[in-house]
Structure 1
Amino acid sequence: MALATPTRSTPPVGGVERPVRRRGTGGIAYLFLSPWIAGALLLTIGPMVASLYLSFTDYDLFSAPTWVGLENYRRMFTEDGRFLTSVWVTLKYVLLAVPLKLALALAVALLLNRTRSGQGLYRSAFYAPSLLGASVSIALVWRTLFGEGAGFERGLAALGWETGSWVGQPQYALFTLIFLAAWQFGAPMVIFLAGLKQIPTDLYDAVAVDGANRWQTFRAITLPMLSPVIFFNLVLETIHAFQAFTPAYVVSGGRGGPSDATLFYTLYLYQRGFTDFRMGYASAMAWMLLIVIAIVTAVIFRSARLWVFYTDDKGQS
């Protein structure tokens, strides 16, 4: 029977013995980390470095890349009108879809936060659309719903509003995708519910004694105490909105129509890379998207100090 080897320690310093780190344990740690390290190198870091190189080349997927320097980036802003259109469409989508989605999520979370019978069923029902994600099937259903002669058009016609197919109208097509994003508010709703549960009830009791109404209570207690959760959801949903692709691809048939009204940035990137075989140009667009998302995220983090309030362990902000 082998005896356990006692752990040596260094001479006491200040009356406290410091254990000596055993040799050879670092190799075991790297052995267990090797699958993650290999995945990061082969599936993330490697492709990122390759795409950065390709963004400075003219590459069509079939011949060797040709170095062109900053030509792809120059052409992007000076010669490509559809690129600027895709930027504008994506910005409108982000600025409209994200606030609407978060507002609906917070409103429903406030309703479901109250104790009532069957609240588990209600929470599951409101969360269910988020489980479907940006799936092709949901986008197809949405395209049919807002298509020619579909239920949405008939409903508006019954109210005296003849709009025609929203999918086929440039002035309405983008709103169909905004409504689809807002409809899938289940994920931020669950996070809002968790945040509402963490607000101390004695704060509500205090403002009730002062005679505050519901709106005053919401402004003075709920919003400030929920601001870290709002900040978290805002960052996540903004990043997801910039990366939206599947709904625009399916609803527009991969073209971004009508009249480029749904030409999302990611959809145009896909067209340039896999339809026009301009992979170098598409790589440059991908890196521009990464830079824009990083800048927008940094701005949100920078502004957080003005409107996000954190509490310490004693509940003081």
Structure 2
Amino acid sequence: MPSRPVREAINAILLLLPALLILIAFRIIPILLSVRMSLYDWGMAGPRSFVGLGNYLEVLKDPMFYKSLLNTGWYIIFEVPVTIFFSLFIALLLNQRIRGLSVYRTIYYLPVVTSIVAVSVVWKWLLHPERGVFNYFLSLADITGIRWLQDPRGIFQLILGSHGNNLPYALRGPSIALISLVLMGIWKALGYNIVLFLAGLQNIPKTYYEAARIDGASRFKTFWKITWPLLSPTTYYVLIMSSIAAFETFAQVWIMTGPPPGGPLGTTKVVMYYFYENAFELWRLGYGAAIAFIAFLIILCLTILQRLVLEKKVHYG
């Protein structure tokens, strides 16, 4: 009869086995097959020829890949910090003793459980240049002519006026069309982050706030010295997950922009859509797999960098 430690190890393996099998079948094996595919000139028809790192070298020489990477970077820079700021602000409001609190929490969480396809279609109509709600309210303030999803001009280009037309693409900033996608992304992501921040706020002992009130600390000082440090683990998690989710943006680009998607002039073509375009529209499966694996490596490097830079500033106590 096996000893007790051996029996416990066997029981642990049996308990983990279903999850491990699912992980291997639906994560590990597809990743390995994708890496293998990226080493071939792999199309829908015809022979498949081994090209080694040829697809990766072609991706790294492709100007459109760098353009899509820049667009993705602009999306992350403008979407993630704003989402975190408003999520925390609303969570602080909802953490108060107010009437109908559960109703407000439900309302803010509704976008999270709504289909991204349905949300994208609704926002496409909201941003319609002639019949959209956004432009209707702006017209009341004599602001007209904004073509949200059709305007390729960068925001820095617009700020500088005629001088901005001479800026290189990388310095023009995100296009108006990309900012439109950012607005939708912020609205969609708020609810999930609010729930996380609320959970973090409710885990802070009330005795800390009572001591701060006795010491005569202002609300801002209480937030800065107590709430913000003790929320750092939650903020750290939200930052990493929001950055990954923003990097993987695809559906709203495919539904809301174009034709063709990724327009106007490629200013909303992000990395995930560029992968889809090559793999499933041009049927360059090997090339698309190389793009996907490079994107995976970029996400991994960004996550490790965030961990190295921010983890020392996270207070778990």
| Same fold flag (TM > 0.5) | yes
Distance 1:106 1:186 in 2: 11
Distance 2:284 2:30 in 1: 17
Distance 2:102 2:304 in 1: 37
The C-alpha deviation readout for 1:112-156, integer Å capped at 9, x for no partner, is 0001111111111111111115x2111011111111211111222
Give the match for residue 16 of structure 1.
none
Per-residue deviation, 1:34: 5.5
Match of 1:144 among 108, 125, 132: 125
TM-score, normalisation: structure 1: 0.86
Give the match for residue 200 of structure 1.
205
- Determine if the alignment matches structure 1 residue 226 to structure 2 residue 207: no
Per-residue deviation, 1:304: 2.4
Give the match for residue 243 of structure 1.
248
- Residues 150-161 of structure 1 mapped to structure 2, 5 A cutoff: 150-161=132-143
Distance 1:207 1:22 in 2: 51
- Determine if the alignment matches structure 1 residue 274 to structure 2 residue 255: no
Match of 2:264 among 258, 265, 280: 258
Q: Is the 8 A contact 1:245 1:264 kept in 2?
A: yes
The C-alpha deviation readout for 1:230-288, integer Å capped at 9, x for no partner, is 01111111111111111111011452011111101100100000111111110001111
Sequence identity percentage: 31
Distance 1:244 1:20 in 2: 46
Q: Judging changes above 3 Å, is the alpha-carbon distance between structure 1 residues 278 and 159 closer, same or farther for their aligned structure 2 residues?
A: same
Q: Judging changes above 3 Å, is the alpha-carbon distance between structure 1 residues 29 and 190 closer, same or farther for their aligned structure 2 residues?
A: closer
SS in 1 for 2:181: helix
Distance 1:132 1:222 in 2: 31
Give the match for residue 314 of structure 1.
none
Q: Judging changes above 3 Å, is the alpha-carbon distance between structure 1 residues 31 and 65 closer, same or farther for their aligned structure 2 residues?
A: farther
Distance 2:195 2:13 in 1: 37
Give the match for residue 4 of structure 1.
none
Per-residue deviation, 1:61: 2.0
Give the match for residue 165 of structure 1.
147
Give the match for residue 87 of structure 1.
69
Which of 34-43 and 287-296 deviates more?
34-43
Q: Judging changes above 3 Å, is the alpha-carbon distance between structure 1 residues 285 and 203 closer, same or farther for their aligned structure 2 residues?
A: same
The aligned amino acid for 1:182 is I
Q: Judging changes above 3 Å, is the alpha-carbon distance between structure 1 residues 200 and 275 closer, same or farther for their aligned structure 2 residues?
A: same
The C-alpha deviation readout for 1:173-195, integer Å capped at 9, x for no partner, is 11111111111210110110011
Match of 2:304 among 285, 291, 298: 298
Q: How many residues align?
A: 292
Give the match for residue 14 of structure 1.
none
Distance 1:20 1:290 in 2: 39
Gap regions ≥5 residues in structure 1: 1-6, 10-18, 312-317
The C-alpha deviation readout for 1:151-173, integer Å capped at 9, x for no partner, is 11122222122242201112311
SS in 1 for 2:67: helix
RMSD: 2.2
SS in 2 for 1:256: coil
Q: Is the 8 A contact 1:166 1:173 kept in 2?
A: yes
- Determine if the alignment matches structure 1 residue 186 to structure 2 residue 197: no
Match of 1:60 among 39, 43, 52: 43
The aligned amino acid for 1:220 is K
Gap regions ≥5 residues in structure 2: 153-174
Give the match for residue 165 of structure 2.
none
Structure (1 or 2) with the greater helix fraction: 2
Q: Judging changes above 3 Å, is the alpha-carbon distance between structure 1 residues 58 and 224 closer, same or farther for their aligned structure 2 residues?
A: same
The aligned amino acid for 2:122 is V
